[in-house]
Chains A and B, each alone.
Chain A
Amino acid sequence: MGETRLMKGNEAIAEAAIRAGCDAYFGYPITPQSEIIEYLASQEPHKRTGMVLLQAESELGAINMVYGAAGTGKKAMTSSSSPGISLMQEGLSYMAGSELPCLVVNIVRGGPGLGTIQPSQADYFQATKGGGHGDYKLIVLAPASVQEMSDFVPLAFDLAFKYRNPVMILSDGVIGQMMEKVELFDQMPRATEFDQTWVTTGKTADRERNIHSSLDLDPARFEKHNHHLQEKYKKIIENEVRFEKIQCDDADYVLVAYGSSSRICQKTQKLAREKGIKAGLLRPITLFPFPYEEIEKLANHVKGFLAVELSAGQMVEDVELAVGKKTRIEFYGRIGGMIPTPTEILTVLEEKYLGG
């Protein structure tokens, strides 16, 4: 059994990064996630594991430092919050295009614009539908507890390297700022030997030179590259869907929520059951790939879904794609940094489906 600590979600991510054998963190401070770089700095990771830590001049600088480190086969990561993640979209598009692995943590805050520093889930579209320019996908993980903030860091690196694709941990100020009990996994070694077939560490005599580029001026060849990317995303969809179901089997109504809003909905679901309403909760853990199939299956027997988000309605579009016309879908969202309470959501469920 690992070491148990009381930690903020942001701190857990930072500690997990060191323990996962992350080679380099490049970042720029922004609320509500500055604890990540602050915690790393306090740990002097260059002394603990040899991990590189550098505060960049901007989010543009940070993501392109990650791009460089990733090109050399290193486990590199950055973290930011919404406005900073917007600045990183260009770099992420390049990394997806040139198929390089990395971890990007987005502790989402309310937008648009400078918005608010309070929690939000309004970056769902940006995270799951591409974000930057071009046809590409990030693998998106949505932790719902401090424990998952820690556990998803090594998972994210595994997926990033398995598919040579950027992975995003999409969380928000609720999970980032909250403290919970977390059981930390043991220190993993930093990889000193790794697949040399694609890295740019200097061309040696025993291999062809490696180039990382997302550019190709020949449209026929570039179409082929794009098809290759799409094939990869298909594989990810086939193999990597993750979700959690709570009391869905006999449910009349299923709440669909991820991350912080799924925590609030867990309580709503309990309260509903206490009142005799057969409610369940489906929590997507991967947002790309999204658990369309599971939701479609549920649609065959439930009377309705209630998607709950800290947004004006983004994930609900994926729920609609999954359900089609099979059954009813309702949506409830709070926006601008406001957070619904469990009873508030229960009232919505009752009003929409049980006539108040």
Chain B
Amino acid sequence: MNEEIIIAGFGGQGILSMGSILSYSGIIENREVSWMPSYGPEMRGGTANVTVILSSERISSPIINTYDTAILLNQQSLDKFENSVRPGGLLLYDTNGITRHPERTDISIYQVEAAAEAGKMASTKTFNMIVLGAYLKIKPLVKFENVITGLKKTLPERHHHLIPLNEEGLKRGMEIVKEVQLG
């Protein structure tokens, strides 16, 4: 098993933490993991991305230029990474703010209206969990309960009261994700 994922979008969307929750769930299931962020000015707004690799073997390069899965959460990221998805791979995106939609026909494309859905929930911070839920619905690489454990491990103690809400977000994402048929 080897899954190479890029998650990209705006800073503040919870992209890095989505990656770390996924990575932690992988560790719980005895996978090798790597989590490689873009760092620097991106920490202060702008775009952010993280490459997550889950594997049953020792991970070689944490830095790669093609991916099994791209989770793209703004237009710049879609423009930048659509062509980095390997043929047969997966592209998951949120349509919010997107004016040019993905066009590739050799990959699977899914949509999740995460921003819109998060707006309906008690906190918009559930955004990244909705996206993660959508991804795990398409590729159930880790067990749901391990994602919750991963969430507990990565969330500071003072935010643990938000775990039920995040759990709800994960479930909503699983419900609302839909495949896009092109061509």
- Min distance, Cβ A307 to any Cβ of chain B, angstroms: 17
Which residues, 19 to 72 on B, are CB-close (under 8 Å) to A? 20, 23-24, 27, 32-37, 39-40, 59-66
Residues of chain A within 8 A (CB-CB) of B61 are 263-268, 341-342
Partner of A181, one of B32, B40, B66: B32
Residues of chain A within 8 A (CB-CB) of B154 are 6
Residues of chain B within 8 A (CB-CB) of A117 are 39-40
Q: Contacts A4-B27, A6-B27, A31-B40: A267 and B35 contacting too (C-beta < 8 A)?
A: no
Interface pair A339/B63, CB less than 8 Å apart: yes
Binds B, one of A20-28, A132-140, A172-180, A222-230: A172-180
Interface pair B34/A179, CB less than 8 Å apart: yes
Tier of interface size on chain A = 20 to 34
Cα A341 to Cα B66 in complex, Å, equals 9
Cα A101 to Cα B34 in complex, Å, equals 33
Residues of chain B within 8 A (CB-CB) of A265 are 61
Interface pair B27/A174, CB less than 8 Å apart: no
Cα A269 to Cα B33 in complex, Å, equals 20
Interface pair B60/A270, CB less than 8 Å apart: yes
Interface pair A118/B40, CB less than 8 Å apart: yes
Interface pair A180/B63, CB less than 8 Å apart: no
Residues of chain B within 8 A (CB-CB) of A339 are 63
Cα A265 to Cα B64 in complex, Å, equals 11
Residues of chain A within 8 A (CB-CB) of B27 are 4, 6, 181
Q: Does chain B have a CB within 8 A of A210?
A: no
Q: Does chain B have a CB within 8 A of A111?
A: no
- Min distance, Cβ A201 to any Cβ of chain B, angstroms: 41
Residues of chain B within 8 A (CB-CB) of A270 are 60
Interface pair A178/B34, CB less than 8 Å apart: yes
Which residues, 267 to 284 on A, are CB-close (under 8 Å) to B? 267-270
Q: Does chain A have a CB within 8 A of B153?
A: yes
Residues of chain A within 8 A (CB-CB) of B63 are 174, 260, 263-264, 339, 341
Cα A269 to Cα B60 in complex, Å, equals 9
Interface pair A266/B60, CB less than 8 Å apart: yes
Interface pair A174/B36, CB less than 8 Å apart: yes
Q: Does chain B have a CB within 8 A of A55?
A: no
Interface pair B39/A6, CB less than 8 Å apart: no
- Min distance, Cβ B15 to any Cβ of chain A, angstroms: 13
Residues of chain B within 8 A (CB-CB) of A263 are 60-63
Cα A31 to Cα B33 in complex, Å, equals 24
Residues of chain B within 8 A (CB-CB) of A180 are 32-35, 59, 62
Q: Does chain B have a CB within 8 A of A32?
A: yes
Q: Does chain B have a CB within 8 A of A49?
A: no
Partner of B64, one of A4, A6, A342: A342
Which residues, 143 to 157 on B, are CB-close (under 8 Å) to A? 153-154
Q: Does chain B have a CB within 8 A of A86?
A: no
Which residues, 305 to 346 on A, are CB-close (under 8 Å) to B? 339, 341-344
Partner of B39, one of A4, A177, A264: A177
Interface pair B20/A6, CB less than 8 Å apart: yes
- List the interface of chain A (C-beta within 8 A of B): 4, 6, 31-32, 117-118, 173-174, 177-181, 260, 263-270, 339, 341-344
**A-B residue pairs, 5 tightest by C-beta:** A266-B60, A267-B61, A179-B35, A267-B60, A341-B65
- List the interface of chain B (C-beta within 8 A of A): 20, 23-24, 27, 32-37, 39-40, 59-66, 153-154
Task: Name 8 A/B residue pairs within 8 A (Cβ), A-sorted.
Answer: A4-B27, A6-B35, A174-B36, A178-B35, A180-B35, A263-B62, A341-B61, A341-B63
- Given A179-B34, A341-B64; 10 other pairs, CB 8 A cutoff: A4-B27, A6-B23, A32-B40, A178-B36, A263-B62, A264-B60, A265-B61, A267-B64, A342-B61, A344-B65
